[in-house]
Amino acid sequence: MSRLNLDEMSAFMAVVETGSFVAGGRSLGLTRSAAGKAITRLEAHLGVRLLNRTTRNMSVTDDGQLFYQHCIQIFSQLEEAQDSVGQKAGAPRGNLRISLPDALGRLLVLPLLAEYQRLWPDVQVDASFSDRVVDIIDEGFDLAVRIGNHATDSSLVSRTVAHHRAVICAAPAYVQAYGAPQTADDLLHHQCLVFSSRMKRQPWRLQEASGEWLKVSPNSRLRLDSAEAIRDAALLGLGLAYLPAFLAADYLENGRLKQLLQAYGTEEVPVQAIYPSKRHLPPKVRGFIDLMVERWKC
């Protein structure tokens, strides 16, 4: 079987990522017609249809989605090969694909990305902001930043880059209407805003004065998969929230949220950088991890 044409693969990826032949072709300096012909040749080579085309719309087939994921991995590996032999003194360069939790990413990581690009102008960054736990390898990410301990398989490496603590809080209006819990058991009589992802609810962990840890699964009529959405729901008086301190700090300071159950401790939660296990970590990845550690003094 003859080899795939990288230019045709690039055209296919560009069209998928932009959602149109015109924009995809333009991003590569091609006309709409040239981009379309490149993908037609690629489909003929593979013997499958990658894109469904109508006069008004374009959509990616199941085979196209699968092939696109492989293309991401192939071009990532090509980029790594280029980086490994083409960098001067190990300077970061190329494209860094990073997955970030939505709130932490925008509040704390985005400023670091700006600084990182000032330090290393030869790096381009594709950042995905979502609380969804991505499959780093299958989806072609170089690096993911995640909150909490995450079990990883042998193909992944994790490094703690920061820590944060949680706070239990609620809007003053909620406290005025329903009172403030005095003990962990009181949580069973309150409406709590719980983080839930993929049908799995996150428990609240509290430490008593004796040092004993309690795992509480509070009552909840409203479950959300976004920490910022939980904060916003708390601000609306919809219940008690168990939030990262960095997300609640400004609202506790201005009085829009009130901290509760302060007699209890909360666990120190790690913020982890997770990346594919490789003998030679690309400088673009190592550089950003090192920047996070340096700025957050972990």
Structure confidence at residue 151 (pLDDT):
55
Closest CA to 247 of 101, 127, 107: 107
Work out the mean pLDDT of the chain and round it to a whole number: 87
- CATH class for domain 164-267? alpha beta
End-to-end, the C-alpha distance of the chain in Å comes to 51
The reply to whether 164-267 shares the fold of 6-74 is no
Query: What is the token pair recorded at 234?
Result: 């708390």
**Span 70-96, average pLDDT:** 73
pLDDT over 70 at 122, yes or no: yes
**Span 58-81, average pLDDT:** 84
pLDDT over 60 at 89, yes or no: no
Domain ranges of the chain: 6-74, 90-162+270-296, 164-267
- pLDDT single digits (tens) 158-185: 889 998 889 999 999 999 999 999 999 9
Closest CA to 251 of 134, 143, 107: 107
**Span 230-253, average pLDDT:** 94
Closest CA to 267 of 228, 213, 230: 213
* Model confidence, pTM: 0.61
39-46: long-range contacts at Cβ-Cβ below 8 A with a sequence spacing of 24 or more?
39/8, 39/11, 39/12, 39/15, 41/5, 41/8, 42/4, 42/5, 42/8, 42/9, 42/11, 42/12, 45/2, 45/4, 45/5, 45/8
Architecture field, domain 6-74: Orthogonal Bundle (1.10)
Mean pLDDT: which of 1-10, 130-139, 255-264 is highest? 255-264
Q: Which CATH number fits domain 90-162+270-296: 3.60.150.10, 3.40.190.10, 3.40.50.300, 3.90.550.10?
A: 3.40.190.10
User: pLDDT class for 61, splitting at 50, 70, 90?
Assistant: very high
**Span 210-235, average pLDDT:** 88
User: pLDDT class for 113, splitting at 50, 70, 90?
Assistant: very high
pLDDT over 70 at 190, yes or no: yes
More confident residue, 74 or 99: 99
